[in-house]
Amino acid sequence: MLRLVALVDQWRAIAGGLPEGWGDARLRLTVEHEAQAARAAAFLGPVNAGRHGTAITFTVASRGSGSSPELVRRLLARLDAEGIRGSLELVRLGETPAAAEVRSRPGLAEQWDAAVAALPEDWSDLYAELELASSDHLERGALLLAPVNPASWKADGGARAAFRFRVARRFGYGASAGMMRRCLERLDAERIRGEFRILYALSDTQPVYTQGPVWYLGGKAV
């Protein structure tokens, strides 16, 4: 027996469980009667729905025009208003190329290890950046990175969501190397993806009457 839950609510439940970075989702709507299936397929025509018996399949895309999530929601709402009931299920899920690239990157702690390994043995001060894969993680990322005193940084007209911070190996301004790595491990544990990079590095600094060197970017000390 098919569920009587509204199709819009079924779609919301499916959409709420989709992973970050999903690209397209193939859905199947199964209704009880052939007559209802024909009407449902007609209503779903704008998303290029295909029908086989009482099963109707169509694809929704996370980005771009066409079968957008909002369009699918509106069409399913029309089916609900028409009294057409059925069961909506996810049959296939694809991801965007960008999401696949992010997923294939090493973890943040591993990226830190690789970046530090490439530095001279006497490095003393770093100015680094962590660009998050999604702006959805800005608040949580800031909280997990709090011990290293991150500064939010937006570039490319705000298109990139990033944090910048200083790391001091022995003394001076910035977090310790150990604390930096532990914070990145905390992000890894919560599957927060991103790209870590060292922007500037100094070696064997010997500050006099100061706590450490200062970089000037855009006329501001960092």
pLDDT tens digit sequence for 69-91:
889 999 999 999 999 999 999 99
Partner residues linked to 160 by β-bridges: 155
Residue whose C-alpha is closest to residue 61's, from 96, 16, 89, 30: 96
Q: What does the pLDDT look like over 106-148, one tens digit per residue?
A: 889 999 999 999 999 999 999 999 998 877 788 999 999 999 9
Q: Residue 208 in 3-state DSSP?
A: coil
> What structural domains and CATH numbers belong to the chain?
7-99 (3.30.70), 105-221 (3.30.70)
pTM: 0.55
